[in-house]
Structure 1
Amino acid sequence: MIEIGIFNGGSLKMWKDYFGSMATIVGVDINPGCKKYEEPGIEVVIGDQADPKFLQELSKQYPKFAVVIDDGGHRMEQQITTLEGLYAPLRDDGVYLCEDTHTSYMPAFGGGHLKTGTFIEYSKKLIDQLNAFHVEESPSLSKNYFTQATDSIHFYDSVVVIEKKSRIQPNQVVYGNQADFTYVAPSLSGKSP
């Protein structure tokens, strides 16, 4: 697993205890002083989570990791760049968590309610992307890697969780007799009553 943001190293030790001795826990921080938290089973990499090249090198050094936790700098560009840089290399059954997403509402972190460019507003668009298989006529939305590689998105207070799992275009299957949609909302049938 990779955790962005080490602070005092406590969570790295917690994850090591939780996942056990077979796991490799990788902590990432911009502060070189965090190297002191390395120990068997815990590796520390110094770098800037807002640097796409650094994230690319990190994913080459630690391929196919199962969990990413972004608890780093909490600025919008850091959170978005980290998701964009580490989601694709995450293994197929992996989980991506971004913590402290309440900063999307705080001007000190580049946030604000409904402000374009915040991690929350970015994540809201991912909901549409998750459902792009079902879009019939929209030039602005078509299926992409995220659509095909994502099983679910969960929004919690101050946390966004994305579960990765390969998907294919779902098939609509109807059982039973032909339904009469006359009494069902036109939006379900696509026909006027």
Structure 2
Amino acid sequence: MNRIAIGPGGEFSLGGENFVIDMSRKKDRRPSTSEAFTIVKNEAYLRFYELLASTFSPRAILELGIFQGGSYVLLDKLFNPRRMSAVEISPGPVASLLRYVVGMEDRFVHFSTSQSDRKILEQIVRDELADELDLVVDDASHTYEQTKASFEVLFPLLRPGGIYVIEDWSWAHHPAY
């Protein structure tokens, strides 16, 4: 069942792509490179998505929060959806992620885009995901208002049997961050 074998340095490979787990504070995290995508998910999250992928086959995925692109690529490799899109509030594109999606006609990434922008989210679901939203992974702002705004827009657009995941919402509320 475990398709992901994590090495001692937090490294693993999946579907021909290399990843490095980096759970350090955001300002100290390594950027994704042409050699490996940085992913900010602990082993429990990786196992959760492995298990989900063994029983669920979404046609279209929308990820909220790209950071360094590691989770986008992980979700793509685990689920192999027909279409996939993601939004990120940060303005700077992630070069390794742009290289990954180049030439893929049904893979999209949007930078400088808020997860709470109703108009953009509805447009993405309609135009890029062909109104087939099956899985939403919210790993973006980790704040109540933005998370709620996204949920209010996207949850009603999920197809029957679809899944909406709000990841590690509480970490942003710890004083250390």
Shift of 1:108: 9.2
Higher strand share: 2
Alignment check: 8 A CA contact 1:76 1:104 kept: no
Aligned residue number for residue 15 of structure 1 = 75
Q: Based on CA coordinates, which of the two structures has the bigger radius of gyration? A: 1
Q: Is 1:55 paired with 2:114?
A: no
Alignment check: 8 A CA contact 2:69 2:94 kept: no
Q: Is 1:87 paired with 2:155?
A: yes
Aligned residue number for residue 44 of structure 1 = 109
Q: Is 1:78 paired with 2:146?
A: yes
Alignment check: 8 A CA contact 2:142 2:170 kept: no
Residue identity in the other structure for 2:158 = L
1:85-164 equivalent positions in 2, closer than 5 A: 85-103=153-171, 106=174
Aligned residue number for residue 191 of structure 1 = none
How many residues align? The count is 108
When the two chains are superposed, the root-mean-square deviation of aligned CA atoms in Å is 2.4
Shift of 1:77: 0.8
Alignment check: 8 A CA contact 1:67 1:96 kept: yes
**What is the rounded CA distance, in whole Å, between the counterparts of 2:91 and 2:172 in structure 1?**
27
Shift of 1:107: 7.5
Between the aligned residues of both structures, percent identity stands at 31
Other structure's SS at 2:114 match? coil
